[in-house]
């Protein structure tokens, strides 16, 4: 018991003196399937504070990302897999498909990541964490392999692409 008090005191001092951590969205890949569904892969980096919160089940990044995607898209999102630095989601009816003489036109919705800041601000450790929700690289890949890319953008505009 006597050793617990100094250890706890050191832990509190370390938390107070430590630099702020950061949640960084590294990459975002949206792979649109022929039926208009999409697989969304988000690679991210968690700060040491967030890793502790995840370890103790205080924070759940994949649940929060799932919720943010559902709010933004207005459709159900399924968590395919989640690890400490990547989460993969499946979204049915992600893109609208219209047929034309030239092929099928896939129209994807715009995405705005700034609303996710409100979710992060609700955590107890929010004042200790800096967030960068703008993916370093965002790629939207259509069924024919055509890609649209964006760098460090906090919002992605709606896109349309015709697949012959």
Confidence of residue 73 (pLDDT cuts 50, 70, 90): confident
Q: Where are the domains of the chain?
A: 21-148
What are 122-141's pLDDT values in tens digits? Answer: 766 667 667 777 899 999 99
Residues 6+ apart with CB under 8 A from 81: 87, 88
What is the C-alpha separation between 45 and 23, in angstroms, rounded?
6
Beta bridge partners of 21: 129
Phi, psi of 83 (to 5 degrees): -130, -175
Q: What is the pLDDT of residue 98?
A: 96
DSSP secondary structure letter of residue 19: P
The confidence band for 101, taking pLDDT boundaries of 50, 70 and 90, is confident
The reported pLDDT for the residue numbered 24 is 82
Taking the model in full, what pTM does it have? 0.78
Local confidence band at 6 (pLDDT 50, 70, 90 cut-offs): very low
């Amino acid at each position: 018991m006597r050793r617990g008090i100094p250890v706890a005191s050191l832990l509190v001092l370390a938390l107070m003196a430590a630099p702020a951590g950061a949640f960084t969205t590294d990459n975002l890949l949206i792979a649109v399937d022929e039926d208009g569904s999409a697989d969304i892969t988000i690679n991210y980096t968690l700060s040491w504070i967030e890793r502790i919160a995840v370890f103790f089940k205080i924070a759940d990044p994949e649940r929060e990302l799932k919720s943010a995607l559902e709010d933004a898209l207005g459709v159900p999102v399924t968590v395919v897999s989640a690890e400490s630095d990547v989460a993969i989601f499946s979204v049915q009816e992600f893109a609208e498909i219209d047929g034309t003489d030239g092929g099928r036109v896939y129209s994807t919705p715009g995405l705005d990541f700034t609303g996710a800041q409100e979710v992060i601000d609700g955590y107890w450790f929010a004042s200790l964490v800096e967030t960068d929700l703008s993916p370093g690289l965002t790629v939207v890949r259509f069924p024919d392999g055509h890609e649209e890319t964006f760098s460090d953008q906090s919002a992605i505009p709606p896109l349309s692409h015709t697949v012959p």
